[in-house]
Structure 1
Amino acid sequence: MEPSSIVSLLLSFGFVGVGCLAIAEKFVPLFPSYVLLMLLGLTVPDIPTLVLTIVATTLGSVVGGLGWYAIGWWLGPQKARSAIAHYGKYVLLRPALYDRLTNAYQRNHFWVTLSGQIIPAIRIYLALPAGILKLQLRIFLTATLLGCFMWNGPFLCLGYALRGSGSDPVQVGFWAAIVLIAAEGTILLTVRVRKGARRG
């Protein structure tokens, strides 16, 4: 079945289908997430539906992240590394990327999880090392919920705003993603500079 057919099928189930689509995107990235979210936003007829769509996709993304967390918890460090070495290339998860994600958790767990949810590619697999390291579930879920809302909401709203404009959602979504990542980097850099100044 074509990816577009799968999306159409899921959307036919309303908000439940939208949530399932957000879950599926965490495991099988059929499209870049910002493109998918903007396309969903283009189909939204009104503001109340937009709000419910944001809620459905955010919860779906959290459930998808929780799925990766559970896989990591179940596998443990050794089995996970072996599985990634053998099968990671089929889901675009190379051992080098896995190592970077794992090493990132040497810093603040909450902020790493939160910021990771608004970085393409990273946002899909970050929950795996979180589960492997058995990070506190409450902190993981809170950070994931906020991060998914910060990523999903703007792209859905942007898609909604562009209805009938004739703009290319792929191009607009790409630049919007760049802006979000740049804003995130600026915020994190500011926090680090202030912490460094206080310690100094």
Structure 2
Amino acid sequence: MNIDLAIGYLHQYGYLIIFLLALFGIVGIPAPEESMVFLTGMLIAENQLGAAGSVVSTVTGAFAGMLIAYAGGRWIGAPLLRKVGRWVGLTKNRLKKLEAKFRKRRGPIILFGFYLPGFRQISPYFAGLTKVPFPLFAGLSLIGALLWTGPFLLAGYVLGSLFDIDPVYAAYAGFLFLAGFVIYLFVKRAGRRKRDASS
């Protein structure tokens, strides 16, 4: 779904389409979720959408998507992987190694995986597959949804208040945030290596 179509749906269906696009993006159905959240912030600034309804729709949509993907991983994932895993090179040993790595870092992956396209679709599935306790998963997912949607909504609101931005440019918001996040991780890792080398 392209951004022009999303804009049309936003004007027509409002909070329902915000909820559905956030949900679709998490479960893996192609949707411009970051762009949609940024655009929602812009529309709040222009008084075309209410702030409370937009925040609730965005966060609950992302959270619902995480719960659906978790359920899929928990009850469908393992049997499906046993059947098709060997056809895609995912042997039992490789799967065990992936599961072990996920278990070791499950908290940060679930919490911050929202910021990385691909990770946010895979992390809830793997959480279900590795049987992460549901209360832990739900808590991390809700916090992660708030931490992910908050900056996009705020950026859209602030920039929409300050500048007259063509909504079509909202499509680039996801790329800019991803680039910023990758640069942040790179700088943080470089700083850690420098400290380790000097100690």
Q: TM-score, structure 2 length as denominator?
A: 0.72
Aligned residue for 2:125? 128
Alignment partners' CA distance in 2, 1:101 and 1:40: 36
Distance in 2 of aligned mates of 1:142 and 1:78: 26
Amino acid in structure 2 at the alignment position of 1:61: A
Whether the 8 Å contact between 2:18 and 2:36 is mirrored in structure 1 is: no
Q: How many percent identity over aligned positions?
A: 22
Please, which moves more after superposition, 60-69 or 14-23?
14-23
- The alpha-carbon deviation at position 181 of structure 1 amounts to 4.1
The amino acid across from 1:52 in the alignment is G
What's the counterpart of residue 68 of structure 2?
Answer: 67
Q: Residue 75 and residue 55 in structure 1: after superposition, are their counterparts in 2 closer, same or farther (change >3 A)?
A: same
Given that 1:35 and 1:169 are in contact with CA atoms closer than 8 Å, whether structure 2 keeps it comes out as: yes
Q: Taking structure 1 as reference, are residues 56 and 116 closer, same or farther at Cα in structure 2, changes over 3 Å only?
A: same
Give the equivalent residue in structure 2 for 1:79.
Answer: 80
Query: Residues 146 and 104 from structure 1, CA distance in 2 versus in 1: closer, same or farther, beyond 3 angstroms?
Result: farther
* CA contact 1:114–1:143 (8 Å) conserved in 2: yes
Provide closer, same or farther for how the CA distance between residues 176 and 137 of structure 1 changes in structure 2, counting only shifts above 3 A: same
Equivalent residues in 2 for 1:21-32, closer than 5 Å: 21-27=21-27, 28-31=29-32
CA–CA distance in structure 1, aligned partners of residues 4 and 84 of structure 2: 30
d(CA) in 2 for partners of 1:19 and 1:43? 15
Cα gap change, 1:115 to 1:3, in 2 (>3 Å)? closer
Distance 1:13 1:142, change over 3 A: same
- Is this contact kept in 1: 2:15–2:54, CA < 8 A? yes
Q: Which residue of 2 aligns with 1:91?
A: none
- 4+ long deviations beyond 6 Å: none
Larger Rg: 2
Aligned to 2:155: 158
Aligned Cα RMSD in Å?
3.8
Structure 2 partner of 1:175: 176
Structure 1 portions without partners, runs of 5+:
89-93
Comparing 171-180 with 115-124, which one deviates more in the overlay?
A: 171-180
- Does the 8 A contact of 2:21 with 2:36 survive in 1? no
Supply the distance in 1 between the matched residues of 2:122 and 2:166 (Cα, whole angstroms).
33
The aligned amino acid for 1:142 is: G
- Number of aligned pairs? 185
Task: Indicate the SS of the match to 1:124.
Answer: helix
Give how far 1:34 is off: 2.0
Tell me which residue corresponds to 1:145.
Answer: 142
Distance 2:85 2:54 in 1: 33
Report what 1:40 is aligned to.
40
